Structure formats: structure tokens, C-alpha cells
Amino acid sequence: MTDLMPAPDHESRPHHFGPVFQLRAQLVMALAFIALTVFTLGRFREAVIWGAILAIVCWPIQSWIKAHLPRRHADTVAPLGIVFAILLIFLVPIGAIGVEVANEAEAAHAWVDNAQANGTPEPAWVGTLPYGSAQVSRWWQQNLADPQGEHRMLHKVGADRTLGMARRIGHEMANGTVLFVFSLLILFFLLRGGRHLTDHCLIASHRLFGARGESVMRQIVGSVRGSMAGLVLVGLGEGVLITISYVIAGAPQPLLLGILTAIASMIPMLGSVAVAIAVLLLLAKGTVGAAIAVGVFGMVVLFLADHFVRPVLIGGSTKLPFVWVLLGILGGLETWGLIGLFVGPALMAVTHLLWRIVSCPGMLGARS
């Protein structure tokens, strides 16, 4: 090889640029390759981010599990156990929803046929409304009580539109399933080799950003874990409490309503929509007192959780004000989708840390 590529003479050697120019060129090249790598991942970028988020959240759990397992098998058994546990956590509610939907499909089909043939009678609670009773009654008689009106409303939906919606839902479900499987695969490898990856990340942050790099990483980790506790766990707790009120009040399909409430409650201020649906269903049954009780209890639970519990869990570890937490959640959800529930607060936490460093007296020169 050296014969094929002889070393050039001293006179013909190319002139080297200065070290500053070479450093800048290396930085540009590194950023270009990073950008190309992220672009090449395509839709699997979400799987990588979800895997990283789950790894950050599950790392303390894995450390506890590994401490109670034989050292020889701990590095593989602990990540596998966590992956299978997450898989079951997602599969059990989906399976419950599928069973309930299958059980109710025949009854729903019979209800639609009966409504088209005989119409839907106006419930008694419409006449007890303090305002708008006549308008609601008139609309109900024109559109629901009359079989022809019911048929026109169902016809507006259209078979083609319904089929297209079903295809889109099926495509999104298939896409989500693939990303979910890859997220769990990435989670397994991150948990299995997480210690080496963490060491390399700390070395890289020290080389690039100095002592402040570790502070930024700690802020991101604290924000992600706080978001998981403040959004997911609090949402599940709200769903359990409000589902109990559904069961006591005799709401139709309390399990499905409870799952819907738990999922909606993970996003601040969205759980009230699920509670409103339950209230409307109870009103349709004619149980006005139970509907009022469920509505009041649900709103109290949501108010306490959204205004007192969530800010402490999400912003407590990162010293992030509640308004920053709320903006990070809602803005991240709008910009990034579901993954923005974690990305948004993490970005806000880092931005708030940088603001404190440059604005607070004594922090700029202090080591974190």
C-alpha cells in the first residue's frame, strides 16, 4: 500500500490551515453527520426518543431490581423484566377495551337499527333544563325522535367517509404498534448498556460544555422523571378515583369511561372532557342527581391534581415554576405530539436553568 501511495515530497505537501479553522471544520462535519443520521432514522426517531425517555424513567427501578438478583444474570434479566412489565401495562387496557367493544358491538348495532326504525325518544331531563329547554327539545324532535331525521343524520356521516376513517385509524394503529415494539427494543439495549452510555455522555458533556454540561443533563433527567410522575401516574390516580364514582353512580360502561378518563387526565385540563361525557351519559339515563355528583367530584379531583399535585412532582426536582411547566406541557403537546409531554418540560427546564445561570447573582461563576 505504501508503494502505491508514496509520501509526497516536502515541497509538494499541501499547506495546512490553522488549528482554529480545522476545529471549525471538524465541528461543521460532525454537525452534518449528526443531522444526516437523525434524518436517516425517519419515523424511527420517535422510537429512539421514547426508548430514551423510558430508560431515564426506569433506570432507578432497574437499579433496585439488579440489587436483588444474582450479579451474573442481573444485566439481562432486569431489562427483560422491565420491558415485559411495560408491555403488559399497555396490553391489559387495550385488551379490556377490545373485549368491551366486542361485547357491545351487537348491542350498538341493534340500537342503531332501532333508532333508524323508531327514532330516539326524548329523555325526561330535557324538560327540566333551566335554560334552553325548548330549543333542545325542538332539535331533538327534529333530528333524533323522528326516524327520518335520525336516518338523515346517520346518512350525513356517509359510508365512504366512515371507511376512510377506519382505514386511517388502522394505519395509525399499525404504525404505532411498530414504533412501540422498536421503542421497547431500544429500551432494552439502553438499560442493558446504560452505565457505559452514561459514562460516555458525561465525558462528552465535560469536554463540550465543561462543568455546566452535567447540570444540564441532571436537569433533563429530573424533568423527564417528574413529567412521568406528574402526568402518567397522577393521571392514572385520577382515573381510578373518578372511576369509583362512575361505578357508584351507575354510569354506563364504567370501565371504558374510567380508561378514557385516565388517559385524558394525563394531559392537564383534558380530563374534564371525559368527566363531561360521563355526566351527559348519566343525564341521558335520567339520573340527574348522580350526574351532578359525578361532575362535582370529578372536577374537584382534577382541580386538586392539576393545581397542587402536578406542579410539585414536575417542577419540584428542577425548581421549575408552574407556568413554565404548563407552557412546556401544552406547547410540547401541540408541537411534538404525545412525545411533547416529556420533551416540552425538559426543554423548559434547561432553558430555565440557563436563565438562572446568566441572571442570578453569583451563579455564573459558581460550579454546579
Q: Are 49 and 146 in the same domain?
A: yes
The residue among 309, 78, 278, 99 whose CA lies nearest residue 195 is 78
Asked which of 192, 221, 250 is the last residue of a domain, the reply is 192
Greatest mean pLDDT range, 150-154, 167-171, 247-251:
247-251
pLDDT for res 299: 92
Greatest mean pLDDT range, 123-127, 132-136, 257-261:
257-261
Q: Which residues of 132-169 are buried (b: 16+ CB within 10 A; e: fewer)?
A: eeeeeeeebeeebbeeebbeeeeeeeeeeeeeeeeeee
Query: How does the average pLDDT of the chain come out, rounded?
Result: 77
Tell me the mean pLDDT in the region 63-84.
84
Tell me the mean pLDDT in the region 349-359.
80
Q: How far is CA 258 from the centre of its chain?
A: 18
- The whole-angstrom separation of Cα 92 and Cα 99 is 11
Looking at residue 237, its amino acid is G
User: What is the grid cell recorded at 238?
Assistant: 385520577
Give yes or no for residue 345 having a pLDDT over 60: yes
Q: Are 145 and 239 in the same domain?
A: no
Q: Which domain holds residue 123?
A: 43-192
pLDDT for res 128: 63
- The whole-angstrom separation of Cα 7 and Cα 36 is 34
Angle between helices 194-209 and 212-227 (to 10 degrees): 130
Q: Are 230 and 171 in the same domain?
A: no
pLDDT for res 1: 47
Asked which of 148, 176, 192 is the last residue of a domain, the reply is 192
DSSP of 166-179, one letter per residue? HHHHHHHHHHHHHH
pLDDT for res 159: 42
Confidence band of 297 (pLDDT split at 50, 70, 90)? very high
Whether the CB-CB separation of 290 and 249 falls below 8 Å is answered with yes
Give yes or no for residue 325 having a pLDDT over 70: yes
Q: Comparing 119 with 263, which gets the higher pLDDT?
A: 263
- The whole-angstrom separation of Cα 301 and Cα 242 is 8
Q: Please state whether the predicted TM-score (pTM) of the whole model is above 0.75.
A: no
Q: Are 130 and 278 in the same domain?
A: no
- The whole-angstrom separation of Cα 13 and Cα 6 is 12
- The whole-angstrom separation of Cα 243 and Cα 139 is 32
Give yes or no for residue 105 having a pLDDT over 90: no
Give yes or no for residue 37 having a pLDDT over 50: yes
pLDDT for res 368: 44
In a domain, 32, yes or no: no
In the chain, how many domains are there? Answer: 2
User: What is the grid cell recorded at 191?
Assistant: 438499560
In a 13 Å sphere around the CA of 247, the CA atoms on its Cβ side amount to 9
Asked which of 149, 175, 192 is the last residue of a domain, the reply is 192
Q: Are 154 and 262 in the same domain?
A: no
